Amino acid sequence: AEYDAIKQNGMSSGSGSLNNGGGKSEIGNYPVSSKGMIAPLQYSNVYISQHYGHNGHKGVDICTRGTGSTMGKEIRAAADGVVYSAEFHKSWGNNVYINHGNGVYTRYAHCSKMIVSAGDQVKQGQVIAYVGNTGNSFGPHLHFEVWVNGTRTNPEVWIPSLPD
């Protein structure tokens, strides 16, 4: 029952930990936010095409600018965790949910291809999928969400800032 509710509405709490404070740092070449997450698309020309809260939008849409399409770009895990599910949903298309512990989950939606499966342990920065245009989508982009204790929250406070 819990799994069905999460698939339909969101995430549930889990165990583990994320950094809940401190300043920005870097892991490898990836800037890390004070909450311990990286941006899921790591390209110099990344931008947010739709912000959280705009017209009821409950995540952020992330794309790349300039030559070359966003389609097929690598999507990376924002933090260490365990893949809760990786499956097709009519609205989100191919989407990956990761349990990061302490009730924090992330969703990566509209993927062209998922390369992780439910139960897989993932490391921050690991490629988990590729940007696509599946489900209820009007062009290639990554729809990224952060859930805390079953409620969608503004992902922009969880990842390093990205330009508009």
- Domain CATH code at residue 145: 2.70.70.10
Q: What is the pTM of this model?
A: 0.83
Q: What is the largest CA-CA distance in the chain?
A: 45
**17-45 tens-digit pLDDT:** 454 443 444 445 678 998 899 999 998 88
**For residue 85, is it within any domain?**
yes
Tell me whether residue 102 is exposed, middle or buried, using C-beta atoms within 10 angstroms of its C-beta: 0 to 12, 13 to 18, 19 or more: middle
pLDDT of residue 105: 98
pLDDT tens-place string over residues 51-90: 998 888 899 999 998 767 899 999 999 999 999 999 999 9
According to the model, what pLDDT value does residue 29 have?
A: 62
Burial class of 163 by CB neighbour count within 10 A (0 to 12, 13 to 18, 19+): exposed
Tally of structural domains, the chain: 1
- Lowest mean pLDDT, pick from 4-13, 56-65, 119-128, 135-144: 4-13
Beta strands in 53-161 (DSSP E): 60-64, 74-76, 81-89, 93-101, 104-114, 121-122, 127-131, 142-148, 151-153
Range of the domain at 87: 2-157
pLDDT at 56: 84
Q: Is residue 57 part of a domain?
A: yes
